[in-house]
Structures are given as structure tokens and as C-alpha cells.
Amino acid sequence: MKVDASGTERVQVSVFDVTGRPYTKLVAQPGQTITFGNELKPGAYLVELVQGANRKVVKVIKN
């Protein structure tokens, strides 16, 4: 998975399994692109993205 931190605020990325157990937490600085997920085992995950006051949670499935 790839995250681009456009704008002037950093993006905090948190990955959880479907039970809510945290796997990893990353931070992308403004203008930075981070790639992650290769280390995850196949399964379903929740990815939380926070940039300033904006928050989004996305369910992803890794094959």
C-alpha cells in the first residue's frame, strides 16, 4: 500500500488486524510517500489514516 502526504500536514498511518490489535504505526511527512504492507501476512486489516482533523479508516485485504 502506498500513502502520499500531500498538503502541509503529516499523515499518521496505523495498521490493525480485524480484532483491533495494532501491527504498525508510520508517519509520512508533508510531501513524502511511504510504502508498507509487504511485511503483513495474508488476511484482513484496518488502516487508519489521520491528517490534521481528518481521519479515515479503510478495510484492506492482503492476498
Q: What is the amino acid identity at position 57?
A: V
Question: Residue 32 and residue 61: Cα distance in Å, rounded?
Answer: 24
Q: Return the residue matching grid coordinates 484492506.
A: 60
Supply the Cα-derived Rg of the chain in whole angstroms: 12
> Model-level pTM?
0.89
Question: Residue 59 and residue 45: Cα distance in Å, rounded?
Answer: 6
Contact 63, 42 (CB under 8 A): yes
pLDDT (tens digit per residue) in 34-46: 999 999 999 999 9
pLDDT (tens digit per residue) in 2-57: 998 888 999 999 999 999 999 999 999 999 999 999 999 999 999 999 999 999 99
Domains of the chain, each with CATH number or no CATH = 2-62 (2.60.40.3080)
| Burial degree of 58 (CB within 10 A; 0-12, 13-18, 19+) | exposed
